[in-house]
Amino acid sequence: MQTVVSGIRPTGKLHLGNYFGAVKNFLMMQENYNSYFFIADIHSLTTHPTPEDLHGSVRQVLAEYLAMGLDPEKCALFIQSDVPEITELYTYMNMNAYLGELERSASFKDKIRTQKNNVNAGLLTYPVLMAVDILIHKADFVPVGKDQEQHLEMTRQFGNRFNRMYDVEFFPEPQAFSFTGELVKVPGLTGQGKMSKSGGAGDAVFFDEDDDVTRKKIMRAKTDAGPQEPNSPHSEEIANLFDLMRLVCEESVVQQYVDAYADCSIRYGDMKKQLAEDMLTLIAPIRERIREVKADDAYLAKAAKIGAEKARESASRTMREVREIIGFKKFY
Ligand code: TYM
């Protein structure tokens, strides 16, 4: 059976971008693949969360994953810091990752800009840790959104370099994966690129927020002055709204608004109301379930424990071989 690995940084709550970019694929993958899905709490340390925030976010995401349908019996759903083999391999792989290539990573350049006062070494070697997450389970596929493509390219580079350096065929080359064939980019509501938790207030629609909060965000989403003449092209803001509609609305409903735009009869208020209600149809039942799971300490504990055991079993198998390959051989 082929193996998949994917993770998420716990920095708050899951939003629609996470769901359509990654989690929806996880739900399908756990049925047919040897699946490892984890909460990347070590990655989160690059932003210096307080212990309370870190633990709270991990708990939130764990509950959200379970509420969305990840089944601890079908996949390995685990917390990264429960698997010390990951930090061990990270140490070794850092020796073969070069400053120049790490500095060129788009996410590092972005972080230099956005967290000027905290440009730590963990940010620089973030792609190495991410590669280790994937390589330690010898993944064939990584279900991710489009934003992670470059990190995946670096993963292949680090894995191949290890193979060449030790003249082994040890790490397979993991490929990005999406069931639709194309990697997804879910736009945000503020009209600036992908939906993200750091995209500012109102950019992301979260699963665990009240209906009225979601409705308000959608109603405030950026639009333009409206089509000036029949069949005019969509501005970026409107194209984003249509992209969001395609994720949650029936095709015929989307078409109705596309046609209304084309003949200039569209009313953005109606379009947004439709979008909000169709989003809530998806979100509301999941949100109720999140709230139940979040209050169920015993279930969270059981899920995390099963996941840690499965992940450690796979990771320690890889590490026994890695140590041998590198030349750490036991004298006793
Ligand atoms: P993170 O936490 O930013 O996002 C988690 C997952 O959600 C996807 N995603 C999106 N997809 C489409 N449109 C969006 N607007 C959008 N926003 C987020 C991301 O592509 C990702 O799949 N570095 C990773 C976490 C990570 C990881 C890994 C992922 C650590 N180790 C190993 C895969 C394999 C990150 O920061 O994702």
Where are the chain's structural domains?
3-184+297-326, 197-291
Ligand 1 touching residue 15 (CB < 6 A): no
Answer yes or no: 194 catalytic.
Answer: yes
Place 146 in a pLDDT band, splitting at 50, 70 and 90.
confident
Structure tokens at 106: 């788009």
Place 140 in a pLDDT band, splitting at 50, 70 and 90.
very high
Q: How far apart are CA 24 and CA 192, in angstroms?
A: 24
- The active-site residue, picked from 13, 24, 111, 217, is 111
Name the CATH topology of 3-184+297-326.
Rossmann fold (3.40.50)
Mean pLDDT over each residue of the chain, to the nearest integer: 95
pLDDT-above-70 percentage for the chain: 100
Ligand 1 touching residue 127 (CB < 6 A): no
Q: How far apart are CA 144 and CA 157, in angstroms?
A: 18
Q: How far is the CA of 230 from the centre of ligand 1 (A)?
A: 39
Nearest residue CA, atom 37 of ligand 1? Answer: 8
Ligand 1 touching residue 186 (CB < 6 A): yes
Q: Which is higher by pLDDT, 180 or 171?
A: 171
Q: What is the CATH number of domain 197-291?
A: 1.10.240.10
Answer yes or no: 138 catalytic.
Answer: no
Which pLDDT tens digit goes with each residue over 62-76?
999 999 999 999 999
Q: What is the pLDDT of residue 93?
A: 98
Section 275-295 average pLDDT: 97
Q: How far apart are CA 183 and CA 137, in angstroms?
A: 22
Q: How far is the CA of 90 from the centre of ligand 1 (A)?
A: 19
Q: What is the pLDDT of residue 184?
A: 87
What's the predicted TM-score (pTM) here? Answer: 0.94
Tokens 């994917």, residue?
6
Q: How far is the CA of 193 from the centre of ligand 1 (A)?
A: 15
Q: Which of 314, 332, 326, 329 is nearest to 5 (CA)?
A: 314
* Cα torsion 122, 127, 131, 133: sign: positive
Answer yes or no: 216 catalytic.
Answer: no
Whether the per-residue pLDDT at 191 is higher than 90: the answer is: no
Q: How far apart are CA 306 and CA 244, in angstroms?
A: 36
Q: How far is the CA of 7 from the centre of ligand 1 (A)?
A: 7
Nearest residue CA, atom 6 of ligand 1? Answer: 18
Structure tokens at 208: 């665990």
Whether the per-residue pLDDT at 199 is higher than 80: the answer is: no
CA angle 40, 319, 168 (to 5 degrees): 115
Q: What is the pLDDT of residue 221?
A: 94
Q: What is the pLDDT of residue 129?
A: 98
Place 192 in a pLDDT band, splitting at 50, 70 and 90.
confident
Q: How far is the CA of 18 from the centre of ligand 1 (A)?
A: 7
Spatial neighbors of 312 by CB under 8 A, at least 6 apart, are 82, 83, 85
pLDDT-above-90 percentage for the chain: 90
Ligand 1 touching residue 199 (CB < 6 A): no
Q: Mean pLDDT: which of 12-21, 55-64, 197-206 is highest?
A: 55-64
Show the DSSP H helices in the chain as ranges: 16-18, 24-32, 41-44, 51-68, 84-94, 99-103, 106-114, 121-124, 126-135, 149-165, 211-220, 236-248, 251-262, 268-294, 297-326
Ligand 1 touching residue 30 (CB < 6 A): no
Section 171-197 average pLDDT: 89
CA angle 324, 123, 6 (to 5 degrees): 65
- The active-site residue, picked from 74, 146, 197, 273, is 197
Closest atom of ligand 1 to 183 CA is 12
Which pLDDT tens digit goes with each residue over 223-249?
999 999 999 999 999 999 999 999 999
Helix (H, G, I), strand (E, B) or coil at 178: coil
Q: What is the pLDDT of residue 201?
A: 78
Whether the per-residue pLDDT at 3 is higher than 90: the answer is: yes
